[in-house]
Amino acid sequence: SLDSIVFILSRLVVYFATPRMSPPQIFAAMLGGQIAKLTKEALLNSPAFCRFAQQSSTMAQKALTEAMRNAQPVVEKAQQRGQETLRRFDQKSTGMRKKQ
């Protein structure tokens, strides 16, 4: 009922009110979290945000593809060097076993 709502609001005002709080601060303390939640949901569900997210995702995918393409020769060269190092290590360890 309206009386119970008024009673609850008056209790909240007394609870949140301190000598330093202005009425807008009291209002923000009471409803700030709910307003932030509703605003966030509205913005995230808006067509403009969905379009932005899709476009930025497409741009990020293109950038990642380009970076991978540029890194491919370096990765292949590193793999070759790693294999060569392992072969040399194996040859040296095999040679040391024969000497013993």
pLDDT digit string, tens, across residues 33-90: 788 888 888 888 889 888 988 999 999 999 999 999 999 999 999 999 999 999 998 8
CA dist., res. 49 & res. 43, Å (int): 7
pLDDT at 11 over 90: no
Q: Which two tokens stand for residue 45?
A: 């569900």
* Of 45 and 26, more confident: 45
CB 33 within 8 A of CB 20: no
- In this structure, which amino acid lies at residue 83? Q
Q: How far apart are the first and last CA of the chain?
A: 96
CA dist., res. 73 & res. 80, Å (int): 11
User: In terms of Cα–Cα distance, which of 9, 40, 7, 5 is closest to 27?
Assistant: 9
